[in-house]
C-alpha cells in the first residue's frame, strides 16, 4: 500500500535519531570498526552495550560515550569464543539496559602465520571460536529472545576475504565464509520478525592494519575503484542502514563495504 505524503515526511523526520528507543549489543566494541559502530548507534539514539575481552577498554569507552551522547552505555568484559559465557552476557546486558533488539557480531581475529602447513590446531580453533562459534551462539540465543518479544535485528561483520580468500588469511576467510552462511540460515529461522544481515568489510585502517605490509596493500589498492583502504568511520553508514528503519525489507543480505575490492580484477 502506498503511504501518504504525511507518513513519508514523518518517517524522514525520524531519521535524525533512527535508533531511538533501541538497545544494541556490539561485540568487539572497544576498538576498530566495533568502536565506530557503538559510537554511531549511541549518537543515533540507542542505548549500547560495549563488549570485548578487554573490560577496562570497554568501561573507558562506555563512560566517554555516555557523557557525549546522554545515552545509557554499559561495559562488559567477555570472550565471544566462550560458549557458556554468552547466555550470561545477554542476561547481564538486559538486566542493565533492557531487552536487546540489535545485535552486532563484530568481534573477530585473524592471527598471522608463516605458511599454511605451519597453522596449528590451536590457532585454527581460536579463529573459528571467535569468528563462527561465538556469533552462532549469540544469534541463536538473542534471536530467540527477539522473536518472543516481537522482533529485532542482527548484523554480522564479515570480510571480503570470505569471497576472495588468499593463502595468508585462509582460516580467517573460511571462518568468515561460514559466518556468511549463518546469516542466511538465521534469516530464515527467525524471519519475518527478526532481520539478519552481513557487511563484507574490506581493508580498513584499524589497529589490526598496523601489522600489514602497507606498501603491498597500497600496490593492490591501485586496482580497486576507491584506490585506498577505508577509514573505520566509513563502516557506519552501512551499519546504520541495515539496523535502522529503512532496511525493513532487507534480510539475509551480504553488503560489501570494501572500496570496490570485490569488483576489481
How far apart are the C-alpha atoms of 94 and 88, rounded to whole Å? 10
How far apart are the C-alpha atoms of 156 and 254, rounded to whole Å? 9
How far apart are the C-alpha atoms of 97 and 95, rounded to whole Å? 6
Strand runs labelled E in the chain: 23-27, 47-52, 73-77, 102-105, 152-159, 194-201, 254-257
> Who's near 85: CB < 8 A, 6+ residues apart?
78, 79
> Nearest 5 degrees, angle CA 66-CA 85-CA 149?
65
Cell output for 105: 557480531
Q: What are phi and psi of 5, to 5 degrees?
A: -60, -40
How far apart are the C-alpha atoms of 16 and 127, rounded to whole Å? 38
Instruction: Please indicate whether residue 172 is annotated as part of the active site.
Output: yes
Return the C-alpha torsion angle 79, 83, 89, 91, nearest 10.
Answer: 180
Q: Please report the DSSP string for 222-245 in residue order.
A: TTSTT-SPBPGGGGHHHHHHHHST
Neighbours of 184 (CB within 10 A): 15
The single residue of 172, 190, 241, 249 carrying the catalytic annotation is 172
Active site residues: 172
Amino acid at each position: 500500500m502506498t503511504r501518504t505524503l504525511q507518513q513519508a515526511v514523518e518517517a524522514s523526520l525520524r531519521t535524525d535519531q533512527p535508533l531511538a528507543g533501541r538497545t544494541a549489543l556490539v561485540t568487539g566494541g572497544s576498538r576498530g570498526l566495533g568502536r565506530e559502530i557503538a559510537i554511531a548507534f549511541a549518537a543515533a539514539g540507542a542505548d549500547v552495550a560495549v563488549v570485548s575481552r578487554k573490560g577496562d577498554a570497554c568501561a573507558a569507552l562506555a563512560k566517554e560515550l555516555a557523557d557525549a551522547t546522554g545515552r545509557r552505555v554499559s561495559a562488559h568484559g567477555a570472550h565471544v569464543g566462550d560458549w557458556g559465557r554468552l547466555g550470561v552476557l545477554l542476561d547481564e546486558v538486559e538486566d542493565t539496559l533492557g531487552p536487546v533488539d540489535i545485535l552486532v557480531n563484530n568481534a573477530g581475529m585473524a592471527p598471522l602465520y608463516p605458511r599454511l602447513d605451519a597453522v596449528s590446531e590451536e590457532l585454527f580453533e581460536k579463529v573459528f571460536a571467535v569468528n563462527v562459534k561465538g556469533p552462532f551462539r549469540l544469534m541463536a540465543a538473542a534471536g530467540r529472545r527477539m522473536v518472543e518479544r516481537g522482533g529485532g535485528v542482527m548484523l554480522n561483520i564479515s570480510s571480503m576475504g570470505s569471497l576472495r580468500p588468499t593463502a595468508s588469511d585462509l582460516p580467517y576467510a573460511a571462518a568468515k565464509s561460514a559466518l556468511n552462511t549463518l546469516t542466511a540460515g538465521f534469516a530464515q529461522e527467525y524471519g519475518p520478525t527478526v532481520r539478519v544481515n552481513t557487511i563484507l568489510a574490506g581493508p580498513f585502517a584499524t589497529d589490526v592494519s598496523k601489522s600489514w605490509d602497507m606498501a603491498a596493500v597500497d600496490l593492490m589498492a591501485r586496482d580497486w575503484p576507491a584506490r585506498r583502504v577505508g577509514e573505520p568511520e566509513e563502516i557506519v553508514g552501512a551499519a546504520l542502514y541495515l539496523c535502522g528503519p529503512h532496511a525493513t525489507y532487507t534480510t539475509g543480505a551480504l553488503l560489501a563495504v570494501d572500496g570496490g575490492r570485490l569488483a576489481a580484477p
